[in-house]
């Protein structure tokens, strides 16, 4: 096994291995926001649910210093931060983040999906960025405390959820180049609606042959803002051409698929085989990717993690060997891909219709998340 943590398959503690949320939440004592959103504002937000626009009344927080370690764990009013203009994150981008969701079930309870995985992944990312690890139980505790304080912000309309965004960054006011001695951890929350307002529509993907998001030995396997910064220009250029997202190729040979800016990519062949790029250290290990592969393998399907060469894939799409293609990540769960194009080529995947495997996976995974199917994998963790 590799000594590089970014090449190891992450699991983290399962829902059953974690202490109950009510026992973890007190680790982040609550100071109630004295001026929470009024009823009118709250109603307006919950009626228009979009992605990452509105935030709840509180945020979870802890501070790390090289001398004292983690301290000051708390939940307090959501508010702007005070930061030195010399804060290291603003200059050297020492930052990592996570993304998960809290789901309201029909009986009113609130659950999240594999928080132990996200806790473990944040620490893998933190290691790469020379940031301190946050104990996994504290990560989960911060979410339990935040959601307990902001219960009213967990929507209950179909397909909606409370998006949780934990993140950690270097606050030390110092322009010298080394890992910071002062770090802040925060978790904020945003009520979000169903990602597909116009239904489960396949999107067009632009394959970037002149920009890359990550290279060997770089930060590709870390969930860090820097990787997103690298993806913004090609993303903007693709959007101008009418494409929804960019798929990146490996930086070394520019020949095989890695992933989208914030989603992993999966191919379903006409013979039923499922393929996805293997974890090479330059792609981010998605929790959605992992869950989907587990569901497919559990259903007896052949699943391969391997190198997927663009040239071969284009041929296989044209010949009909590829039946379905989709991208996956927490925010949208599954995004069907109906078209793939690059500088001098353009192919349509399966007449641009999301196929049965894509649809069934979307239903199966979201049913588990919303408590509509049994959680046989022990993925769901009760927050409230």
Ligand X SMILES: *Cc1c(COP(=O)(O)O)cnc(C)c1O
Residue 168 in contact with ligand X, rule: CB under 6 A: no
Residue 155 in contact with ligand X, rule: CB under 6 A: no
Paired residues of 334 in beta bridges = 328
Contacts (CB under 6 A) with ligand X, residues 90-129: 99
Q: How many residues contact ligand X, by CB under 6 A?
A: 14
Residue of 120, 110, 126 whose CA lies nearest to 160? 110
* Residue 159 or 352 with smaller CB distance to ligand X: 159
Residue 287 in contact with ligand X, rule: CB under 6 A: yes
Contacts 24+ apart (CB under 8 A), 258-261: 258/213, 258/214, 258/220, 258/282, 258/283, 259/213, 259/283, 259/284, 260/205, 260/327, 260/329, 261/213, 261/227, 261/228, 261/231, 261/232, 261/235
| Part of the chain binding ligand X (CB under 6 A), chosen from 55-63, 144-152, 193-201, 281-289 | 281-289
* Residue 138 or 259 with smaller CB distance to ligand X: 259
Residue 212 in contact with ligand X, rule: CB under 6 A: no
Compute the least distance from the CB of residue 201 to ligand X, in Å: 20
Residue 259 in contact with ligand X, rule: CB under 6 A: yes
Residue position matching structure tokens 């890992």: 179
Residue 137 in contact with residue 61, Cβ under 8 Å?
A: no
* Residue 374 main-chain phi, psi, to 5 deg: -65, 145
* Residue 25 or 188 with smaller CB distance to ligand X: 188
> Which residue in the set 262, 277, 281, 338 belongs to the binding site for ligand X (CB under 6 A)?
262
* Residue 73 or 121 with smaller CB distance to ligand X: 121
* Residue 263 or 383 with smaller CB distance to ligand X: 263
Binding mask 319-338 for ligand X (x = CB under 6 A): ----------xx--------
Q: How many helices (H) and strands (E) does the chain have?
A: 9, 17
Paired residues of 305 in beta bridges = 276
| Part of the chain binding ligand X (CB under 6 A), chosen from 80-88, 122-130, 260-268, 353-361 | 260-268
- 252: which 2 tokens? 């070394």
Compute the least distance from the CB of residue 118 to ligand X, in Å: 7
Q: What is the DSSP letter of 59?
A: E
Residues 6+ positions from 100 with CB-CB distance below 8 Å? 112, 113, 114, 115, 118, 143, 163, 164, 166, 287, 330
Residue 223 in contact with ligand X, rule: CB under 6 A: yes
Residue 194 in contact with residue 201, Cβ under 8 Å?
A: no
* Residue 280 main-chain phi, psi, to 5 deg: -100, -5
Residue 288 in contact with ligand X, rule: CB under 6 A: yes
| Part of the chain binding ligand X (CB under 6 A), chosen from 22-30, 171-179, 201-209, 280-288 | 280-288
Q: What is the rounded distance in angstroms from the CA atom of residue 237 to the CA atom of residue 216?
A: 25
Q: What is the rounded distance in angstroms from the CA atom of residue 106 to the CA atom of residue 112?
A: 14
> Which residue in the set 226, 286, 336, 354 belongs to the binding site for ligand X (CB under 6 A)?
286
Residue 204 in contact with ligand X, rule: CB under 6 A: no
| Part of the chain binding ligand X (CB under 6 A), chosen from 56-64, 279-287, 316-324, 370-378 | 279-287
Instruction: Please give the residue ranges that form the binding site for ligand X (CB under 6 A).
Output: 99, 223, 227, 259, 262-264, 284, 286-289, 329-330
């Amino acid at each position: 096994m590799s000594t590089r943590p970014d090449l190891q398959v992450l699991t983290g503690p399962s829902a059953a291995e974690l202490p109950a949320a009510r026992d973890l939440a007190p680790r982040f004592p609550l100071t109630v926001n004295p001026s929470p959103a009024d009823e009118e504002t709250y109603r307006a937000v919950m009626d228009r649910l979009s992605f990452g626009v509105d935030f709840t009344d509180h945020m979870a927080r802890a501070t790390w210093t090289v001398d004292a370690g983690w301290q000051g764990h708390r939940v307090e009013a959501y508010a702007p931060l005070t930061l030195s203009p010399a804060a290291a994150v603003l200059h050297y981008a020492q930052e990592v983040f996570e993304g998960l969701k809290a789901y309201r079930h029909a009986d009113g309870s609130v659950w999240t999906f594999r928080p132990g995985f996200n806790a473990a992944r944040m620490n893998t990312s933190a290691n790469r960025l020379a940031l301190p690890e946050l104990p996994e139980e504290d990560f989960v505790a911060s979410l339990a405390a935040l959601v307990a304080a902001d219960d009213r912000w967990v929507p209950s309309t179909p397909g909606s959820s409370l998006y949780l965004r934990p993140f950690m960054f270097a606050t030390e006011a110092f322009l010298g180049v080394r890992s910071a001695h002062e770090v802040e951890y925060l978790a904020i929350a945003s009520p979000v609606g169903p990602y597909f307002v116009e239904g489960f529509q396949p999107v067009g993907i632009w394959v970037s042959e002149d920009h890359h998001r990550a290279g060997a030995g770089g930060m590709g396997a870390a969930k860090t803002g820097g990787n997103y910064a690298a993806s913004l220009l090609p993303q903007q250029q693709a959007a101008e051409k009418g494409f929804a997202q960019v798929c990146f190729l490996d930086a070394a040979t520019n020949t095989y698929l890695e992933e989208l800016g914030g989603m992993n990519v999966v191919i379903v062949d006409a013979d039923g085989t499922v393929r996805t790029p293997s974890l090479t250290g330059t792609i981010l290990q998605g929790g959605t990717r992992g869950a989907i592969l587990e569901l497919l393998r559990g259903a007896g399907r052949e699943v391969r993690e391997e190198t997927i060469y663009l040239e071969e894939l284009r041929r296989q799409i044209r010949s009909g060997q590829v039946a379905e293609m989709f991208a996956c990540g927490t925010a949208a769960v599954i995004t069907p891909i109906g078209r793939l194009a690059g500088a001098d080529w353009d192919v349509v995947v399966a007449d641009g219709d999301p196929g049965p495997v894509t649809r069934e996976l979307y239903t199966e995974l979201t049913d588990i998340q919303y408590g509509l199917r049994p959680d046989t994998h022990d993925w769901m963790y009760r927050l409230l």
